[in-house]
Amino acid sequence: MSKSAEIICVGTELLLGDIVDTNSQHLSRGLAEIGINLFHRETVGDNHDRLVCVLKRAISENDIVITSGGLGATCDDITKEGVAEAMGLKLVLHEPSLERIKEHYRRRDAVMTENNVKQAYLPEGAIVFDNDYGTAPITAVQKDGKTVIMLPGVPRELVPMFDEKIKPWLKEQYSDAIIVSRNLRLYGIGEAAAEDLLRDLMDSYQNPTIAPYAKTGEVLLRLTAKGQSEKECNALIDSLFEKVEERVGQYIYGIDVGSLEEAMSRVCREKGLTVSFAESCTGGMCAKRVIDLPGASKVIGMSVVTYHGSAKQKLLGVKSETIEKYGLISHECAKEMAVGLLSLSEADIAVSVTGVAGPDTDEGKAIGTVYIGVASKRGVRSSFINLARGKREREYIRTLAANAAINEARLEALLLNQ
Amino acid sequence: MSKSAEIICVGTELLLGDIVDTNSQHLSRGLAEIGINLFHRETVGDNHDRLVCVLKRAISENDIVITSGGLGATCDDITKEGVAEAMGLKLVLHEPSLERIKEHYRRRDAVMTENNVKQAYLPEGAIVFDNDYGTAPITAVQKDGKTVIMLPGVPRELVPMFDEKIKPWLKEQYSDAIIVSRNLRLYGIGEAAAEDLLRDLMDSYQNPTIAPYAKTGEVLLRLTAKGQSEKECNALIDSLFEKVEERVGQYIYGIDVGSLEEAMSRVCREKGLTVSFAESCTGGMCAKRVIDLPGASKVIGMSVVTYHGSAKQKLLGVKSETIEKYGLISHECAKEMAVGLLSLSEADIAVSVTGVAGPDTDEGKAIGTVYIGVASKRGVRSSFINLARGKREREYIRTLAANAAINEARLEALLLNQ
């Protein structure tokens, strides 16, 4: 039987929106990886009664409760007191923890205040995990078959302590299965359309499962299997993957890959190809996204942002007649930009983007009108995409246009044999 | 009497840790700004029974419940059904919403599936807010003095819809005082140092309050006043602002401005100046950030990413001797890049960035070593920044380098009189 857990984040600063809670995601993912079910996450402020109330409910409904925050030395740090009350336990001084805290301050030549002694009081019988990253003792308290684990709220302490100590401990104690996921990245199809094609598989498969997630301009499809070994899980996923590939294979651009630019960069590196972009409405986004990845210098050497028409002419050699006849936002301009860039950059693949991101229309073209040009030794081509939707937000249109440009570079890299 | 609210995020992908929940922070901050108390936040998966259970408890304990997520067209989108059941209401077809969804697909030349019709079924009597950013109808359902507001989970829709429609609506309905904030943006000082300079003001002032927030490479200082009128609030803020300005005025680069690039663009537009960047380690980030802003074409016409040394030579005319003698990562190279760019781009201000973002060192220079060059008709100068700190993450270093470059452009624009 899988065990169930609940995460409780403690801190008024969270409820005021002063900080974004990244701990929950980290803990959630970690629990999923060791096959512990998570049905609820909760955030409460630094209020004793409300905390105790939430803790009591969580403990009654779950096998494991993990708290984050409220373990500091100040008076609004109330988690231990809350847990002790909710579980009917006393707080007692834990000498080794007190020694550790004293040592921490000694090493830093810092003054330890009376408040810090408070940190060494723990619920009786608590299992203490040495906190290698801070002063707050990290504990697991067990009673009547229930376990409450208290972690500090600072991600710099919580993340490594959970990964290095708590997760392995939980796995040993509770995990009866392992979970393996495979992430398929789809481009060129929406979430609803993908679901239409996969509906019966989604309904009929329980293990492995298949779940689609909408990302900006693309879809993530996750196949997840639960089993006794990685091999067993992978075999389960393989059988489902075959069926999924039959339905949506043409849209899959990568498996367990982070993004279009990562997929593109992989192909380029494998084939020893370089890419360059000439960006108008995307204004540096394509270059930025490729250069975000470590090792980008193997893939991109030069890229240009030609926002004004004059820059397109001067840098890329787009002809005045082309602009007069077809406009800057046209197949013809996109193609001339790509050809000009191929020679300027000496890259293997030159991709251009010209379009209207808004907020104003341009040349009478609707916001969301985008042309992509591609040039390589294979020749030159261009494509048109219509991104006019919703409020036609500038940022959104530019992101989708950059997706399309990076995808074109990826396709060209696949077609080029070097 | 202040009203109380609870936020419920719906989505198994949250509980699996697939995404980090930024919506909660945004909603929490917004509620705090209009004086609505938030005692709990909760996250549940795509499970009807558990959702209904959480909704019932939240509705019974609060005046307002705000949900995020689960409004899409797929069958794991269950929020409306859950809210209808928890409140004892039926779901009925809302014709205007159906029309809006149809129109959305028509405009995109996309196929609307049967699934999409589901989105137009709403709890009876629901107040519908036109969603300008997507297809999911956004609704407020009221019964027995309780209000449930359903927002989509995609931040791109939730954030603007909450800010533009839901927050003003809640404020009108429930808020008994008005709250005015003034946001000061500081560059060149850290959060701890700013706090040190402002500590006594932070402790002694209750209304208005002053709160510092650390942003990447900069500090946001928010002065907030509560009162009966905007005039009253502004007078309160003015008196505090004077004192704050005395202490940290030299670091303030903008008031109620979104970012360094926005402050820079404002100065440029006011003075009719254009900017161009030659980016190496920042790889298009500077151009992207400036072009992220509407109206960018008045400020930037051309920008280049010269990632490889050869691109710096070919496009910007950096001399081989300079590279041999000083290296690509040097004051001399940064200056030659800026001078070459000034002539290539014909912009009023040319700014270059060359540095080591990692993960590998380069030319024996440490990761985090960055040089910025600035050229204009005033002449040419360069500066060195050392970003080697903490974990020296690539993304972090590049963001800080782009901050510095954009700030240099801003300073140059202030100095240039056109």
The pLDDT score that the predictor gives to residue B240 is: 96
Give the whole-angstrom CA distance, residue A383 versus residue A375: 12
List pLDDT tens digits, range A279-301: 999 999 999 999 999 889 999 99
φ, ψ of residue A118 to 5 degrees: the values are: -55, -35
List pLDDT tens digits, range A366-386: 889 999 999 999 999 999 998
Mean pLDDT to the nearest integer, A91-105: 87
Kindly report whether the global pTM for this prediction surpasses the value 0.90: no
- The single-letter code of the amino acid at B414 is L
Give the whole-angstrom CA distance, residue A315 versus residue A280: 13
The pLDDT score that the predictor gives to residue B343 is: 96
More confident residue, B95 or A72: B95
Strands (E), A216-334: 218-227, 252-255, 275-279, 302-306
Rounded to the nearest angstrom, the minimum Cα separation between B33 and chain A is: 9
User: Does the distance separating the beta carbons of A388 and B108 come in below 8 Å?
Assistant: yes
Rounded to the nearest angstrom, the minimum Cα separation between A96 and chain B is: 30
Strands (E), B301-368: 302-306, 349-355
The pLDDT score that the predictor gives to residue A418 is: 57
* Closest alpha carbon within chain A to B295: A359
Whether pLDDT at A232 is above 90: yes
Of A25, A42, A301, which is closest to B20 when you measure between CB atoms? A25
**DSSP-derived 3-state class of residue B78:** coil
The pLDDT score that the predictor gives to residue A390 is: 55
The pLDDT score that the predictor gives to residue A127 is: 95
* Surface of A (281-340) touching B: CB under 8 A: 282-288, 290-292, 294, 296-297, 300-308, 310-311, 314-315
User: Does the distance separating the beta carbons of B395 and A292 come in below 8 Å?
Assistant: yes
The pLDDT score that the predictor gives to residue A132 is: 80
* Distance of alpha carbon B233 from the chain centroid: 25
Average model confidence (pLDDT) across chain A: 91
The pLDDT score that the predictor gives to residue A174 is: 82
Three-state SS string across B174-230, please? HCCCEEEEEEEEEECCCHHHHHHHHHHHHHHCCCCEEEEEEECCEEEEEEEEEECCH
Sheet holding B349-355, edge to edge: A379-386, A369-376, A349-355, A275-279, A302-306, B302-306, B275-279, B349-355, B369-376, B379-386
Greatest mean pLDDT among A14-23, A67-76, A106-115, B210-219 = A14-23
The pLDDT score that the predictor gives to residue A32 is: 87
CB atoms under 10 Å from CB of A118, counted, come to 19
Residue-level pLDDT, tens digit, chain B, 418 residues: 678 999 999 998 899 888 889 999 999 999 988 888 899 999 999 999 999 999 999 999 999 999 999 987 777 789 999 999 999 999 999 999 889 888 888 877 777 777 778 888 999 999 999 888 887 889 999 999 999 999 999 898 999 999 999 999 998 888 777 778 899 999 998 877 888 899 899 888 989 988 887 777 888 898 988 888 889 999 999 999 999 999 999 999 999 998 999 999 999 999 999 999 999 999 999 999 999 998 899 999 999 999 999 999 999 999 999 999 999 999 999 999 999 999 999 999 999 999 988 887 788 888 889 999 999 999 999 999 988 765 557 888 899 999 999 999 999 999 997 5
CB atoms under 10 Å from CB of B147, counted, come to 21
What is each CA distance from B244 to A177, A298, A386, B196, B224, in whole angstroms?
A: 58, 48, 49, 12, 13
Q: Which two tokens stand for residue B285?
A: 């980030």
Give the whole-angstrom CA distance, residue A263 versus residue B310: 26
The pLDDT score that the predictor gives to residue A391 is: 54
Run of H or E including B40? strand B37-44
User: Does the distance separating the beta carbons of B42 and A40 come in below 8 Å?
Assistant: yes
DSSP result, A81-139? HHHHHHHT--EEE-HHHHHHHHHHHHHTT-PPPHHHHHTTEEETT-EEE--SSSSS-EE
CB A9 within 8 A of CB A43: yes
Contacts of residue B41 in chain A, CB cutoff 8 Å?
14-15, 42-43
CB atoms under 10 Å from CB of B207, counted, come to 12
- The single-letter code of the amino acid at B94 is H
Whether pLDDT at A327 is above 80: yes
Q: Which two tokens stand for residue A15?
A: 């409820």
Helices (H), A327-391: 331-345
More confident residue, A384 or A191: A384
CB A382 within 8 A of CB A338: yes
The pLDDT score that the predictor gives to residue A350 is: 98
More confident residue, B358 or A390: B358
